[in-house]
Amino acid sequence: MKRYWHKRPLLIRQAIPGFAAPLSRDALFELAARDDVESRLVSHARNRWQLNHGPFDAGDLPPLTRKQWTLLVQGVNLHAPAIDALMQQFRFIPDARLDDVMISYATDGGGVGPHLDSYDVFLLQAHGKRRWRIGPQRDTTWRENVPLRILEHFEAQEEWVLEPGDMLYLPPGYAHDGIAQGECMTYSIGFRAPLEQEMLQNFLYYLAENVAELPFARHFAGRYADPEQPAVKHPAALPEAMIDTLISQLKRVRWGPKEVEDFLGRWLSEPKSHVFFDPPQKPLSTVRFAREASARGLTLSAKTQLLYRRNRYYVNGEPLEVPVNARPTLRRLADRRALKAGECAKFEQNDQEIVEILYDWYASGWLELGRDSKPGRKLRAVRKKAG
């Protein structure tokens, strides 16, 4: 993080030694056919680019024998446990910044053209080979009349062919162009970086929406009054007193770290609009749930966002008051996204409150019984520049 994050690209040969794509091409195509999954198709023929948005039924995709097309599927971690397990390995970066895993499938010569992204990305080669050319682009003129953002004058400084298990980190704004050499699949582990203006705007919405509950609200209980108002000659003119009153009221609007934290916790843990949870069809009783948890452990659904700061917790957009004795367990669950059977065994004896919270989440599909014991192949620790 000190040397490369947001600073310079890094190629890591065999970041995951012996990596074999955990999701087949057909499984990816099945995801692209779903309407709760975001997918795009980019094709390039005779110097013409075409972009289509999914869902794509099997018949909508070009034949596999046709060259130069790419299918991009967003948020695969939400639907494929093996891809979620892979994403967990990137949690050396805070959850508040981690976005999703996008998978691209390309036929020979396929790619999305030279471009740059506003976010950091780890590009993990999952299947087949891809030639990446990258450079610190200065000229960011975009090609006109194409449906996707393609740099008009891309200049590459370095290039490599990546094989399964190799990974390339790119800081935001670093230009890149990846071209499939034969059929290939690439995983993009992507990050979220809201625009500063968007963050501010959303905080101001939050203040506006919550004005009644915030401490300064007591200053705003009354209604505008103007006992000093004289008779006027110019009725259309805005009264100065009204402007002054609002200015002095605005000076009473107070916010501090508590409000900022509350806003960020809710906002960042809010599920994306196309995320739907799958509650259990026949939920167990609370007692059976606690018993099963102490036998099998618990795992957060891949779709659940659980964030915290000190003693305040935020789950899927909602703030949560947590009783003191439940906090260590919840913190462990938030950081590890799972609880071992032994950790749940303690529930039965003492804390009913935590069982109630977790049972609620289980009944909403936010939490599942059991633990996935297959974490997949591990990312190799990188100490110095590899490759």
Alpha carbons within 13 A on the beta-carbon side of 93: 21
Q: Is 112 in the site for ligand SIN (CB under 6 A)?
A: yes
Residue 166 interaction partner, one of ligand SIN, Co ion, none, beta carbon < 5-8 Å per kind? none
- Draw the binding track, 45-74, toward ligand SIN (x: CB under 6 A; -: no contact): -------------------------x----
Q: How far is the CB of 310 from ligand SIN (least distance, A)?
A: 36
**Residue 9 engages ligand SIN in binding (rule: CB under 6 A):** no
In whole angstroms, give the CA distance from residue 165 to residue 122.
Answer: 12
Regarding 176 and contact with ligand SIN (CB under 6 A), the answer is: yes
Kindly tell me which residue out of 68, 104, 125, 294 binds ligand SIN, with binding defined by CB under 6 A.
104
Taking CA atoms, 383 is separated from 2, 92, 98, 115, in Å, by: 11, 14, 22, 29
3-state secondary structure of 339: strand
Print the binding letters for residues 131-170 with ligand SIN: x by CB under 6 A, - otherwise. ----------------------------------------
Q: Which is nearer to ligand SIN, 171 or 370 (CB)?
A: 171
- Give 3-state DSSP helix, strand, coil % of the chain, rounded to 5: 30, 25, 45
Between CA 110 and CA 336 the distance in angstroms is 37
Among the listed residues 28, 38, 2, the one whose alpha carbon sits nearest the alpha carbon of residue 127: 28
- Biggest CA–CA distance in the chain, Å, is 85
| Rounded least distance, CB 70 to Co ion, Å | 11
Positions in 106-135 near Co ion (CB under 5 A): 117
Task: Show the 3-state SS of 95-148.
Answer: CCCEEEEEEEEECCCCCCCCECCCCCEEEEEEEEEEEEEEECCCCCCECCCCCC
Binding of residue 100 to Co ion (CB under 5 A): no
**Phi-psi domain of 268 (left: phi exceeds 0; alpha: psi -120 through 50; beta: other):** alpha
Contact between 125 and ligand SIN per CB under 6 A: no
CA angle 359, 365, 367 (to 5 degrees): 60
Judged by beta carbon, residue 137 or residue 305, the one nearer Co ion is 137
Task: Give the shortest CB-359-to-ligand SIN separation in angstroms.
Answer: 41
Using CB under 6 A as the binding rule, whether residue 186 contacts ligand SIN is answered as: yes
Of residues 210-269, those binding ligand SIN (CB under 6 A):
none
Please state the closest distance from residue 155 (CB atom) to ligand SIN, in A.
17
CA distance 156 to 379: 28
Residue 190: phi and psi, rounded to 5, are: -110, 160
For residues 4 and 119, which CB has a smaller minimum distance to ligand SIN in the complex? 119
- At position 211, the amino acid (one-letter code) is V
Q: Is residue 305 a contact residue for ligand SIN (CB under 6 A)?
A: no
Residues lying near Co ion in the complex (CB under 5 A): 117
Residues lying near ligand SIN in the complex (CB under 6 A): 70, 104, 111-112, 117, 121, 176, 178, 186, 188
